[in-house]
A and B are shown apart, each in its own frame.
Chain A
Amino acid sequence: MPWAPIVIAEDHCKGCELCVTACPKHVLALDRSRINVLGYHPVELTDAAACTSCAFCARVCPDAVFTVWAAPREELQR
């Protein structure tokens, strides 16, 4: 399983895309192939390696769906 810096509480996501706009690395997008319990397309991280853990997504999210981690040192050196 690849390491990912972001955990998304998908069932709270309302697909407003504010995080998609805020992400400076453009690595967030709605997953149009799935629908969550609220009936929205949840957001997903499209490129875990490009994410810098800046947490901009978490700070603009009205539904607080993001938990953000900085990569362990081993991951950064990879």
Chain B
Amino acid sequence: MTLHTPGPESPAPGASAARLIYARPEVLRDRSTHYCPGCGHGVVHRLLAEVLTELDLPAHTIAVAPVGCAVFAYDYLDIDFVEAPHGRAPAVATGIRRVRPEAFVLTYQGDGDLAAIGTAEIVHAAARGERITAIFVNNGIYGMTGGQMAPTTLLGQKTTSSPFGRDAALMGYPIRITEMLAQLPGVTYAARGTIADVGSIGKLKAMIKRACQVQMEGGGFAIVEALSNCPVGWGMTPQQSIEHLKGPVVEAYPLGVIVDRGAVAQPTHDLGCPSPAHPEA
């Protein structure tokens, strides 16, 4: 069946033009991603592209890409990117913030990157109240390397490195890293959303937008955790992974805004490198 849809450049002759409800944001490059079918990274990329466009930020943004499945984020989002070593996105973002105080600085990390090898960097960037916005995609597994157990893997969850399920006695408990960071006074905004359904995706977008606005208003560190799925790593179909996400995953990682300290200017982000204008500083 061939179907015809009038675009803005070709309205149906003599008819009122069709109204555009939804189009791919231009910041999201028109190419196929390397992500597996049903992977939540695509949704988070798209939301990020929409939010940056709505806030007129793409031209001012310097983003930091992680190591992990999202390592090629710079291929998919048409904004400036720096690729950080594994887990070091907040440290790289801190450097960018210190030399480019006017830029909008964004980090995009997965849970293997942020919650495991990069724990020290994210905790201390948050403790310093760095004026950066962190997007944290948590799918509870190391997806890129073949589905090994991550610090965020649920108890009982089978992965290639915990084939009988995660056992607390042997492997410890999953970390709620966003709650952990939220208690630091340097953190202006911390929230957790999910890509599980249309409603949640809308809420997640609002959280990402707020996290970006916090930085624009001069607030401190802002983090949004996006609970995501990993159909291949979890050994499920995309539909099953979404059901799993809505059930045990959301139960273990409650959704909502954890802290919003408003746009209180953080004194810490002025303590950068000594300015050449003030050599005595």
Contact = CB atoms under 8 A, between A and B. Distances in A.
B112 interface: no
Q: How large is the interface on A (under 10, 10 to 19, 20 to 34, 35 or more residues)?
A: 35 or more
A45 B1 CA distance: 9
B35 interface: yes
B40 interface: yes
Interface of B is mostly: loop
Interface stretch (B4-12, B95-103, B212-220, B255-263): B4-12
Contact of A16 (B17, B25, B30, B238): B238
Interface in A24-46: 38, 40, 44-45
A70 B19 contact: yes
B38 interface: yes
Given A12-B32, A17-B238, A60-B201, A1 B4 contact: yes
Contacts of A14: 36-38
Contacts of B273: none
A72 B24 contact: no
Interface string B13-49: 0011111111111001011110111111111001000
B277 interface: no
Contact of B18 (A58, A62, A63, A69): A69
Given A12-B32, A73-B16, A55 B4 contact: no
A70 B42 contact: no
B12 A67 contact: no
Nearest to A14: B37
B21 A53 contact: yes
Contacts of B198: 22, 56, 59-60
B242 interface: yes
B275 interface: no
Given A14-B37, A63-B42, A69 B242 contact: no
A70 B18 contact: yes
6 contacts: A2-B1, A5-B21, A70-B19, A71-B18, A72-B16, A74-B15
